Structures are given as structure tokens and as C-alpha cells.
Amino acid sequence: MTTEEREQYNKLSELDREEYDLIKKKHPNWSHSQIITKLGVSVEIGKRLEKGEDVNPDDPTVIEEILKGAKKFLKRCGIIIKEVFEAIDEVLTDVGNKLKDFWDWLWDYKVY
């Protein structure tokens, strides 16, 4: 772990550091960025489950909300990793395009 990665790790809450360590143990070959991304997504999914909200991976709206929440979580922790944010933004763009296509399809076929 680099000095910067250690500083980011230290910004996490104790509970989040425990989760980070568990992810690292399960996936020893993953990079810090991969672990942080998984942590952010896991935290957001956990919040949704606690509220009894949907986490259906086939629903683009749910995926979009989870990824936006993961990004907010990382920012709130003071963790800004360019590559992670770029990857999240790329997926969000894809999800947004899929949602637009879906709504266009609904409108065209009046399936509403």
C-alpha cells in the first residue's frame, strides 16, 4: 500500500476499514482502487437493504442509484481516485443511455 493509499484507508471509519480488510483478504490480488470501489458499492447496497429498498441488478435505475451513492460515499470519506470515478462515470453514462433507450421504447410502443 502506498502512502496515499494508506492515508485514504485511514480516512475510513473503523467499520469500513474492517470491510476493506475483509475484501482484501478475499481478493489478495486486487488493487487498492478495486477494493475501494467494492467497498463503496457494498456500503451503498447495505444502506438500501437496511431500508428495505430494491437492489435488483437488472434494474438500471437501481444500479445508477447505487453507483452514485458509492461515489458520494468515497467523496464523503475524502477518497478521490480518478480512475475509480472515471469508471463509475462511464458505467453511469452507459446506464443512462440504457434508461433513455428503454423510455424511448416505451414511448414508441405505448407500453405504459
pLDDT of residue 97: 67
How many structural domains are present in the chain? 1
- Residue range 2-14: average pLDDT? 92
Lowest mean pLDDT among 1-5, 65-69, 85-89: 85-89
pLDDT of residue 106: 57
User: Of 89, 84, 86, which Cα lies nearest the Cα of 64?
Assistant: 89
Q: What does each C-alpha distance from 65 to 5, 19, 44 come to in angstroms?
A: 26, 21, 9
Provide the domain limits for residue 68: 3-109
CB 61 within 8 A of CB 99: yes
Q: What is the pLDDT of residues 18-45, one digit of tens each?
A: 999 999 999 999 989 889 888 988 888 8
- Residue 111 pLDDT more than 50? no
pLDDT of residue 72: 87
Q: Please, what sign has the CA dihedral across residues 37, 58, 61, 42?
A: negative
Q: What is the pLDDT of residues 39-78, one digit of tens each?
A: 988 888 899 899 998 788 777 788 888 888 888 888 887 7
